[in-house]
Amino acid sequence: MNINDLNALKKGTPTNQLLVTLGPGFYNKYREGIDYLIEAKYLEPYMKINYIESGDSFYYHPEPGTGKNATNLDYNKTISALTSLYNATKNPEIKQRYGYQLVRFNHYTRNYDVALKAFKTYVEPLRLKGAPLHYGT
């Protein structure tokens, strides 16, 4: 599902037949999850590390025409948005996903120490042992 479909659902004007079928109360019932999906879809094209040619880069070849990476986003604005969304979210599983986005974004902008701090600040305290924790480690 694309971001435009999700934004239309949020506005109450879905055109995607699946979302229309879910009914008018669907967004309100699952608001935190849908808002997370919108943010994740927005970040998705940028969630790549900045490619830097080196002696060890022989195994990695960026896809042609995919010049986007995490450094193309405004760092402070992105961190602020993710932190705000994290703090506003009540569902611990969704909160954990925002925490991982903070870790991931810092990793892809080569802020490795900040990424580790973000994990300890936003992910560890939730003490969730689900798939995202095991997938990310």
Q: What is the pLDDT of residue 96?
A: 95
Rounded Cα distance between 12 and 131, Å, is 31
CA 87 to chain centre: 15
Residue 33 or 1, more confident: 33
pLDDT digits (tens, 9 = 90+) for 74-104: 999 999 999 999 999 999 999 999 999 999 9
DSSP 120-136: IIIIGGG---SHHHHHH
Which of 24, 35, 135 shows the shortest CA–CA distance to 84?
A: 35
Q: What is the pLDDT of residue 33?
A: 96
